[in-house]
Structure 1
Amino acid sequence: MAMRALDRDGTTPLWQQLQGDLLARLEAGEFAGQFPGELALVEDYGVSRHTVRQALRQLRADRVIVATRGRQPRVAESAEIQQPMGALYSLFAAVEAAGLAQHSVVRTLDVRADGVVAARLGLEGSEPLVYLERLRLAGGIPLALDRVWLPADVARPLLEADFSHTSLYTELADRAGVRLGTGHEEIHAVNPTAAERALLDSPPDIAAFSIHRLGYARDRAVEWRHSLVRGDRFALTAGFSARTGYQLHHAAAAALTTAAP
């Protein structure tokens, strides 16, 4: 096979030319099967391994390819599950809307006291709380570690629910007559702990979304939730324009408002 041409007399560094050519080939769908390894690129372009590594380093930084030590680079997959910001959204519904089977492994479902969480819910520290912890799977692959606390005086009926394939909000509405209407979220990018990464079966170079949610039914706080979601399987979306700035996807949000995580 003929060597691919780079401009060796120009001012643009070889690694940058190589990066640009690889991007063009990616956009053309040339690497749909397998992305070439370092040695193959050295041979194809007639450059040093150092030049190849410089080009791949930037492609990794831009999340165009994924490469871990000892493994051949591969084209990064787009997030399977996309969620519009600004909606009282349903992770359960979003997973199934993506055409993936939804399943949860219930790790804990009990009643306990937690003074810190109780304060966030506007309760006395000794107030009993229903605590639910689930490992959420999408398509049989771990997606999120989900922990939620609710006041036991409204959520105690949930102790009889099977959360392996149902949504919290559906059960809360059906069993307790409580429907969330508003809420507040904070989202951060974090590196999972070793234990969390093992539960999520997450690659070592992938960060996660840490999502804290305080949910309200009418004027009462009834949900404090922390979700840790794999960053390679989930994306948050919003639209924008030069005139109005960011616009949340209200149409999509409205469709999910009555659904449930």
Structure 2
Amino acid sequence: MSRRRHEPTNVAPEVFATGDGTPKGRHIKDVLTALVHASRDGELLPSERVLAERFGAARMTVRNAIAELEAQGLVRRVPGRGTFVQHPTLVHSEIFRSFSEDMRLRGMVPGARSYRARTRPAPRDVAARLRIEPGAPAHLIERVRTADGVPMALERTNLPADRFPALLGAMGKDGSLYEVLATVFGARMETADQTVSIARLGPAEAKRLEVPDYDPAFLVERTAVDTMGNVVEYGRSLYRGDRYAIRMHVSR
């Protein structure tokens, strides 16, 4: 079955024509750049064939213009699916904030998908991080965090159930975990130990984050401590490698 023809709808037809002597390749790049900035993150761009017809240009000329946009980080090409708008990379800084707080400070709306939560006996490695006995009850919360509706990270976090017995009932799909801990339980985060490594997204993880299989991601392990020095959570989260950069302050 052939794919439905995807036409550009937010660009006036006369924009595709050149009349001021601008080289064809530069004109195509300028128009596509404006189209990207006017589109939502993750939106599918028209195919090379459609664009070549609209611009009255060779497909190779269009392809070269798209390659320049990809090099600038404005679009990403997914084999077999097309070219997608990609808005600027977010910097994951050393400042300790919740995902919701971080997105709000960037002027974006935090949200969540695929929310799953349950209480289980803590595996030995999780128990060691939470400083509880192996097999003691621990809450596991897993969800895809979004910014302006775009999947950004797959969060998995564990918390001691004995300390926060009603947590899962108080949490909402889109809610901020740290805000619930502070307002309902009086637990306020103070510091966290984090390690960052590179991982490849398996097919199931990539599907949930809407990226190609085995795309690189940042694996962030976090152990958070409250103002009393007690461990509150231990998590392993995957942040999209195409949307994040890591910032660190180092000194001698």
Report TM bin, short chain: 0.5 to 0.7
**Which of the numbers 210, 224, 232 marks the counterpart of 1:222?**
232
Alignment partner, residue 189 of structure 2: 180
- Which one of 66, 70, 86 corresponds to residue 76 of structure 2? 66
Give the 5 Å matches for 1:1-261.
31-33=33-35, 37=48, 40=52, 60=70, 63=73, 65-70=75-80, 73=83, 76-79=86-89, 82-83=90-91, 85-97=93-105, 98-204=107-213, 206-217=215-226, 218-237=228-247
Give CA deviations for 1:123-157 in whole Å, capped at 9, x if unaligned. Answer: 32222212212222332333322111112221222
Counterpart-to-counterpart distance in 2, 1:169 and 1:72: 38
List runs of 5+ in structure 2 lacking aligned partners.
Answer: 1-17, 37-44
**2:96 aligned partner, one-letter code:** L
For residues 87 and 126 of structure 2, the distance between their equivalents in structure 1, rounded to whole angstroms, comes to: 37
- Counterpart-to-counterpart distance in 1, 2:177 and 2:143: 11
Q: Distance in 2 between matches of 1:113 and 1:209?
A: 25
C-alpha spacing 1:198/1:104, structure 2 compared with 1 (3 Å): closer
In the alignment of these two chains, the number of paired residues is: 220
Closer, same or farther: CA 135–233 of 1 in aligned 2, 3 Å: same
RMSD of aligned alpha carbons: 3.8
> TM-score, normalization: structure 2?
0.67
CA deviation digits over 1:21-45, x for unaligned, max 9?
69xx85x6763226894894xx86x
Q: Which runs of 5+ in 1 are unaligned?
A: 6-17, 239-244, 248-261
Q: Identity of paired residues, percent?
A: 29
Determine which structure has greater relative contact order: mean sequence separation of CA pairs < 8 Å that are 6+ residues apart, divided by chain length. Answer: 1
Equivalent residue, structure 1, for 2:7: none
Contact 1:68 1:205 in 2 (8 A): no
